[in-house]
Amino acid sequence: MANTTVHKCKECAREYPLSPMNVCDFCFGPVEVQYDYDAIEKAVTRESIQAGPHSMWRYAEFLPVDGSNPVDLNAGFTPLVKADRLGKLLGLNNLYLKNDSVNPTFSFKDRVVAVASTAARDFGFDTIACASTGNLAGSVAAHAAKAGMKGFVFIPADLEIGKVIGAAIYGPTMVAVKGNYDDVNRLCSEIADQYRWAFVNINVRPFYSEGSKTLGYEVAEQLGWRTPDHAVIPSASGSMFTKIWKGYNEFHRVGLIDKPKTRMHMAQPVGSSPIVTAYDEGTKEIRPIRPETIAKSLAIGNPADGYYGLNVIEETGGTAHAVPDEVIIESMQMLAETEGIFTETAGGVTIGVLRALAQEGTIKPDELTVAYITGNGLKTQEVVESVVNPVTIEPDFSAFEEALKGL
């Protein structure tokens, strides 16, 4: 943690020594890790980053843990894909996709959990745990296995089976809670008060959330040390959205890129869109809801960082949009058929909102645009089962030719 200094409350600015805490003792605001940016600026160059590992740890100087010995599944440095065919369909000539569906456990959560599990180990915890809408459960379970730590994952009882299996295979203790994510999270907050476990998105959340910054760093580096004109990002709690923006700005702070002018666009499903609702109403007061959507990885009704996400939208001249379930499914199929990328429902939300932004003219045809794809479609196969319609034939050539006539 050579370049970190203290925790600082985002509301009252009180400072605390770095420790497993997530809220200010005085005002109960969230705390955030602070950095010595002058030290980072002296330590990093474009060349030193490019000489680093082909993973998120090439940015270790910007992270709040010891990058020389991380709990590492080799997450990050995922492809930035030039999406020509999807772009042509949407009328966008300069469209890229940040494909984070190819991380070790098939979602961006490997970035945040790599940081959180490293911090947990370094603070002396023997157990890591989480409340999860699915992707986080798999990543926590995998990192616990890699680190030789105990893993506890708490999930809604109606979670998609692909995500349940994708966590169970690593051997954690799994607890299915009869309720939605917000119910699970409340329970975990109580448990965290009673057990000395590292809940990655509760008591070590300030370390955990910093991992999402690497999505900003990578895009800036992969674009040739610049940021896009537009970024379209799926959001549940709003944390990743704010941290990508923070990543862009940290690169500028230490002289690696010009000042970011990216317009940040938030994407949510209609059935779980409390941040979008607040944006549409012109307020920063977010009313909690009970989510009802097929995009279960985004089904958080009481978003912890929603207020800060709205601040980023306002600061950047961005927008917030929500799309219904049928558009999510259409968009998943559109992405697969044009770019060969099978995304989960959250990616369908991103592409659905991207299409809306293009159609309404918010994104101009030649503007540089990056859409973030954060999870793999193998996790949510059941929502697109209707695409399965094979031509069934007898095992001979004439039967094939006869069937071919009807295609």
Give the pair of three-digit tokens for residue 173. 């203790």
Question: Taking residues 209-232, what's their average pLDDT?
Answer: 98
Mean pLDDT of 284-299: 95
Mean pLDDT in residue range 344-369:
98
Dump pLDDT digits (tens) for 7-37: 999 999 999 999 999 999 999 999 999 999 9
Q: Measure the N-to-C terminal CA separation of the chain; round to a whole number of Å.
A: 61
**Once rounded to an integer, what is the mean pLDDT over residues 371-385?**
95
Determine the pLDDT at residue 220.
Answer: 98
pLDDT at res. 392 = 94
222-226: which pairs have CB atoms within 8 A and are 24 or more residues apart? 222/80, 223/80, 223/96, 223/368, 223/370, 225/46, 225/256, 225/257, 226/257, 226/258
pLDDT over 90 percentage in the chain: 97
Q: Are 63 and 211 in contact (CB under 8 A)?
A: yes
CA distances to 128, 173, 294, 346 from 383, rounded to whole Å, are: 31, 27, 7, 12
Q: What is the pLDDT of residue 216?
A: 98
CA 374/CA 100 separation, integer angstroms: 5
Tens-digit pLDDT profile for residues 79-115: 999 999 999 999 999 999 999 999 999 999 999 999 9
The CA-atom distances, in angstroms, between 166 and each of 135, 162, 201, 367 are 8, 6, 19, 38
Confidence at residue 358, expressed as pLDDT on a 0 to 100 scale: 98
- For 80: left if phi > 0, alpha if psi spans -120 to 50, otherwise beta; the answer is beta
Task: Tell me if residue 98 falls in helix, strand or coil.
Answer: strand
Return the pLDDT at 406: 81
Domain ranges of the chain: 1-35, 80-106+209-387
Instruction: Flag whether pLDDT at 344 surpasses 90.
Output: yes
Q: What is the distance between the alpha carbons of residues 158 and 103, in angstroms, rounded to a whole number? A: 25
Rounded mean pLDDT of 163-188?
95
Q: For 367-385, what is the mean pLDDT?
A: 96
Look over the chain and give the mean of its residue pLDDT values, rounded to a whole number: 96
Evaluate whether the domain defined by 80-106+209-387 bears CATH number 2.40.110.10.
no
pLDDT digits (tens, 9 = 90+) for 128-143: 999 998 899 999 999 9
Side chain identity at 389, as an amino acid letter? N
Q: Does position 1 have pLDDT exceeding 60, yes or no?
A: no
pLDDT number for residue 133: 87
Q: Give the predicted TM-score (pTM) of the model.
A: 0.96
